[in-house]
Amino acid sequence: MKEATPLIVDLDKTLIYTDSLVESVVLLIKKNPVYFFIIFFWLFKGKARLKTEIVNRVSLDIETLPYNKPFIEWLKVEKEKGRKLYLVTAAHKEIAKKVMNYLNFFDGFFATEESCNLKGSKKCALIKEKIGDDFVYAGDSKVDLLIWKDSEAAVLVNAPSSLANEVRKKTIIEAEFPRKKIGIRTWLRALRIHQWVKNILLFVPLLTAFEFLNVFKIFSVIFAFLAYSLVASGTYVLNDIFDLNSDRAHMLKRHRPFACGDIQIINGIVIAGIFFILALTIALYISEVFTAILAFYFILTVTYSLFFKKHIIIDVIILSFLYTLRIIAGVTVIQVDISSWLFAFSMFLFLSLALIKRCGELVSFGKEDQKRTIVGRDYMPSDLVVLWPLGVGASLLAIVVLSLFINAPETQQKYASPELLWGPAVVIMYWLGRMWIKTSRGEIDDDPILYVIKDSISYMIFFFTISITIISYFYTI
């Protein structure tokens, strides 16, 4: 094989770990969900027309795409040797042109235009016509077999082992860049299994109504917990897919599985769909009311991801309500009356936690530019002067509601030793104050739930609160 043989490089899942068409579709639907239905009309007219219509309406952030860095470094070395490099892709020409200009080492590019979807046999014919019969092709998928058959050698990038074995039968392998190994841990990160801890809130009505000895109701809440968790994981997947651009611009979130290309968007959508179907099946088994609440939770979460998270204050109010909605769901499962005290306390408490999340992001964002907003959010570091007192104030309001509840006539009658409830009130006030101090120090940089999971003091406070509440209800002291 001649050293100077031109090297043809594919884009999707080869030069980048993701698929530019799928990402463009996500951007389009995020821009206006109505396009979800319109794209099928465009697709009916052909893939080339579809890609043209999409690229005319949305533009990918080329600089933040998850590039295959080891492969790119190898390409740069080949370029330094004097080798001709061409980007030949089924992606639209506007995307290919921007990628070529950004990387600045390709000698030319060929891509899909409105009249021709450059894939398979069409790509092979173009390569022979424009570049010649002597070439090496770098690709990743089975559709590239036709091209490898006519190439002098192959460069395998992110190709499965079965495909690699098939290519070896057709041509020489010049270089190979194995696909990333995606294990269960990567999927657990994508599904945010640790966030299932939030759904423990469904068990709160069991405690406040003192129904935790009712085996039937316990199992009902366990099934509700599973349904809620499946929906939550599915919506986290959708949220990460819709937030690709902002996540890639974030110091920490850019390492999330979808943002860095570890998991393909299509695979995430399939798993999310399976989770939603399983959750719906479980919810219908529990009750129609619980199913309605779960559906409302899903709709509100998706609309939050698409619209509300971009609006200051509205986003944290919705987040606090989503927490409280879990308690309401738990109430419907065990069929008890919801306490107005519990509703008010939880709203203020979770508003405080939602503001901790935002303040933590702003603190970690840095103080270099007080007027620069966080990507995908309507917040800037200078807003902290308002958010600090707002969040601490919400914490204090939660404690005030709890204090009024302790002194309420119905509490005095219901509990054997209501005065013991002042113990939990004090430690909850301490816990919230401590959370805010930790946030101001930058120790809670993004997600307070992750911090709580690792915090032993939080566990002790929760155990003390639950224990004293049970004792105050059953025992006279």
| 166/211 same-domain check | no
Q: Do 316 and 353 contact (CB within 8 A), yes or no?
A: no
Q: What is the mean pLDDT of residues 342-360?
A: 92
| 194/132 same-domain check | no
| 121/269 same-domain check | no
| 98/84 same-domain check | yes
Per-residue confidence (pLDDT) for residue 477, from 0 to 100: 79
Range of the domain at 51: 7-177
pLDDT classification of 168: cutoffs 50, 70, 90: confident
| 327/345 same-domain check | no
Smallest Cα–Cα separation from 333: which of 280, 294, 369, 275? 294
Residue 352: pLDDT over 90? yes
Q: Do 116 and 48 contact (CB within 8 A), yes or no?
A: yes
Residue 450: pLDDT over 90? no
| 408/444 same-domain check | yes
Q: Which of these three, 305, 336, 367, is where a domain ends? A: 336
Q: How many structural domains does the chain have?
A: 3
Structure tokens at 413: 């009658």
∠ at Cα 63 (250, 359), nearest 5°? 15
Point out which residues pair with 67 in neighbouring strands. Answer: 16
Q: Which residues of 175-189 are buried (b: 16+ CB within 10 A; e: fewer)?
A: bebebeeeeeebbeb
Point out which residues pair with 139 in neighbouring strands. Answer: 156
| 44 to 34, 37, 47, 117: CA distances (angstroms) | 17, 12, 8, 14
| 315/241 same-domain check | yes
CATH classification of the domain holding 164: 3.40.50.1000
Least confident of 6-10, 53-57, 147-151, 433-437: 147-151
SS3 333: helix
Q: Do 375 and 245 contact (CB within 8 A), yes or no?
A: yes
User: Has residue 2 been placed in a domain?
Assistant: no
pTM: 0.87
| 321/376 same-domain check | no
| 88/167 same-domain check | yes
Count of residues making up the chain: 477
Per-residue confidence (pLDDT) for residue 366, from 0 to 100: 61
Per-residue confidence (pLDDT) for residue 1, from 0 to 100: 46
pLDDT digits (tens, 9 = 90+) for 294-310: 999 999 999 998 888 88
| 323/186 same-domain check | yes
| 309/366 same-domain check | no
Alpha helices (runs of H) in 287-383, residue ranges in sequence order: 288-306, 314-334, 340-365
